[in-house]
Amino acid sequence: MADPIEPEVRPTGVGDGASAGPGPIAAPPGIELRAARASDARSFLAFWQAIVAEGGFVRSEEANTPARVYRARFRRSWSDREAQVVALDGGRVVGHVYVQRELHPVTRHVATLGIAVAADHRRRGIGSALMAEAFRWGRSVGVEKIMLAVYPTNDVAIALYRRFGFVEEGRLVGHSRKSTGYEDEVLMSAWIGGRT
C-alpha cells in the first residue's frame, strides 16, 4: 500500500527508456525490464549470491539475507523514495538496479545507485537499460543528482557510468576493509536535472 504522505509513483513503461540518460534505451531482445516484485525474491537472491561470489565488484562478501527480506523490499519497489528494477531472462533475474533518494531535506535532490548484471549476461546492453530506468525514475520524482561508489579496478562499470555522464567527484582511500585488505572507492555522480 502506498504511503499516504507521499503518493506512490508507478512506472508507466519500465523498459521503454523514456527520458533516460543519453537517449531512449530498450532492453536487449529476450530481456524483460520491470519493477521488482515480491515473487522475484528467490531468483534475486540466487543472482545476488553469484555476484557476491565473484568477489571484487561489490562491498558484500557474504549474501546471507533471507529471501523473505527481499520479498518485503520488493513489495514497494517503485515509489517516491526508491526504485528497484530487475532485468529478467525467462523469469531469471539477470540484472538489478537500486536507486534511493536521500531523505534529509537539504540532500533530498540526491539519490544513490547500485547496479549489477549477471556474469553470463554482461556486455549485452542490460546495464545500460537498467541505468536508463534509474535516470527515468529519478527524473519522475524530482531527483537532480545520482551518486555511486565504485572500486577503481572495475573499468567496465566505470566506462558505463561515464557514458551516462558520471564524473569522478573524489576517492575514499581505504574505505572498504574486506578480507583481502583495504580498497579505495571512487565516488562518481551525474546531474540529471536542475544544476548542471
Q: Give the pLDDT band of residue 61 (cuts 50, 70, 90).
A: low
CATH architecture of 31-148: 3-Layer(aba) Sandwich (3.40)
25: exposed, middle or buried (C-beta count within 10 Å: 0-12, 13-18, 19+)?
buried
Residue with cell 540526491: 110
Scored b (16 or more CB within 10 A) or e, 60-73 reads eeeeeeeeeebbeb
Global pTM reads 0.84
Q: What is the pLDDT of residues 154-179, one digit of tens each?
A: 999 999 999 999 999 999 887 877 77
Q: What is the pLDDT of residues 114-133, one digit of tens each?
A: 999 999 999 999 999 999 99
CB of 177 closer than 8 Å to CB of 151: no
Q: Quote the pLDDT of residue 177.
A: 72
CB of 190 closer than 8 Å to CB of 132: no
Would you kindly state where each structural domain of the chain is located, as residue ranges? Answer: 31-148
